[in-house]
Amino acid sequence: MIASQWVRVAMSFSIAFAAVPAAAFDCPAAPPAVRDIKAQGYYEDKAGSIVDEQKKRENEEMTRPLNDFLRQVTNMTDSFAAERDEAVARCALDWMAGWAQGGALLGKMVRVNNDQSYYMRKWTHGGLAITYLRLSEHATPEQRAQIEPWLKRVALADLAFFDDPKKSRNNHYYWTGVGVMATAVATGDKGLLRAAADIYQAGVNDIQDDGSLPMEMRRAQKALHYHNFALDPLVIMAEMARVNGMDWYAYQEHRIDRLADRVADGFRDSAWFTQQAGVAQEEKKPGVDSGWVEFYRLRAPHPERFDDVHKAGPFVDSRAGGNMTAMAQQGIVLPR
């Protein structure tokens, strides 16, 4: 399906979803599954800090079908969490089951100028896997039989990308862990759980004594941004571990606290990042990728340190499963 057709599908869904009362919700047909992914990078410089706006717009058009689908499914799940209309939950699960049947995300990853197509797959998989985890107690046996094997296949494909030792295990590796962990918790797959634990531990082991991440510090004017962006998946994984009764925050003597403190302090005053990166920081305020704070401040030894970041919410990010502010209050898994 071409992007213009996807726009019409998305608009019709949005209109129907907004206009129909929850009690009379009529589930629209799911868009066709996207098997092949074509995306392109849009940074001009080697550090990945200067955006080529034209390439970014082109990439947004290329990936619109994926982003639209993920946003609509997470919106349905957020609506269900608020209104508890089972018809909405069934619709979101049916959409995912349809994509599972169509082998979505399992086709060709088209390389344009970098690995962006692989990045898009893992972000989409992560958001959908968290969505399924949130709705898992409402899935029918038929939906489970369709969705769970598919999520596992995509998780394994995401992990296989990092079989190449030349691939940088930076924030992209951590974000891969989000989908792997959500799939593991939702399906009870012990092998995927071990893989997710390895990713989480690698991420926390990357944290220096001063709270920095060396690979993200190389991002020049976006160093603060990418420290924040790398912290997000680590906290999300730790929260999903809590669903399984595990305390991943405690790993390496709560070393994740050092990164969280550094990011929160950076948003208050980015001078330290400017000094370390050697260039003034472009992003100085919390954004959509700062939803980690909604969970982390509930676990932090000094939660008041994160008040300013929290006040920038609510945080809604489809790659993280939707409304993170609400999830932190309601719990990730929505009970029957």
- Other C-beta atoms closer than 10 Å to the C-beta of 229 total 23
What would the DSSP string read from start to end of 106-167? -S-EEESSSSHHHHHHHHHHHHHHHHHHHHGGG--HHHHHHHHHHHHHHHHHHHHHTTSTTS
**Buried b or exposed e, range 76-113, using 16+ CB within 10 angstroms:** bbbbbbeeebeebbbbbbbbbbbbbebebbbeebeeee
Residue found by looking up tokens 């009529």 in the block? 26
Per-residue pLDDT of the chain (336 residues; tens, 9 = 90+): 444 444 444 444 554 444 344 457 999 999 999 999 999 999 999 999 999 999 999 999 999 999 999 999 999 999 999 999 999 999 999 999 999 999 999 999 999 999 999 999 999 999 999 999 999 999 999 999 999 999 999 999 999 999 999 999 999 999 999 999 999 999 999 999 999 999 999 999 999 999 999 999 999 999 999 999 999 999 999 999 999 999 999 999 999 999 999 999 999 999 999 999 999 999 889 999 999 999 999 999 999 999 999 999 999 999 999 999 999 999 999 999
CATH topology of domain 3-330: Glycosyltransferase (1.50.10)
31 backbone dihedrals φ, ψ, rounded to 5°: -65, 155
Element holding 37 (H helix, E strand): strand 37-39
- pLDDT, position 194: 99
85 contacts 17 by C-beta, under 8 angstroms: no
- Distance of alpha carbon 7 from alpha carbon 31, whole angstroms: 11
Of 72, 112, 104, 88, nearest to 322 by C-alpha is 72
Side-chain-facing half-sphere of 228: CA atoms under 13 Å: 26
- pLDDT, position 4: 46
Question: In the chain, what are the domain boundaries?
Answer: 3-330
- Between the alpha carbon of residue 324 and those of residues 105, 195, 228, the distances in Å are 24, 24, 15
- pLDDT, position 23: 56
184 contacts 152 by C-beta, under 8 angstroms: no
Give the helix ranges, DSSP H, for the chain. 3-19, 53-62, 64-83, 86-101, 116-135, 141-161, 171-187, 190-205, 214-217, 223-243, 251-254, 256-268, 271-277, 292-299, 307-311, 324-330
First to last CA, the chain: 36
* Token pair belonging to 250: 């405690």
* Token pair belonging to 240: 């999903």
* Token pair belonging to 67: 């982003």
Bridge partners (DSSP) listed for residue 51: 43
Q: Roughly what angle, to the nearest 10 degrees, separates helices 190-205 and 223-243?
A: 140
Type of residue found at 99:
W
- pLDDT, position 283: 85
Type of residue found at 294:
E
- pLDDT, position 24: 76
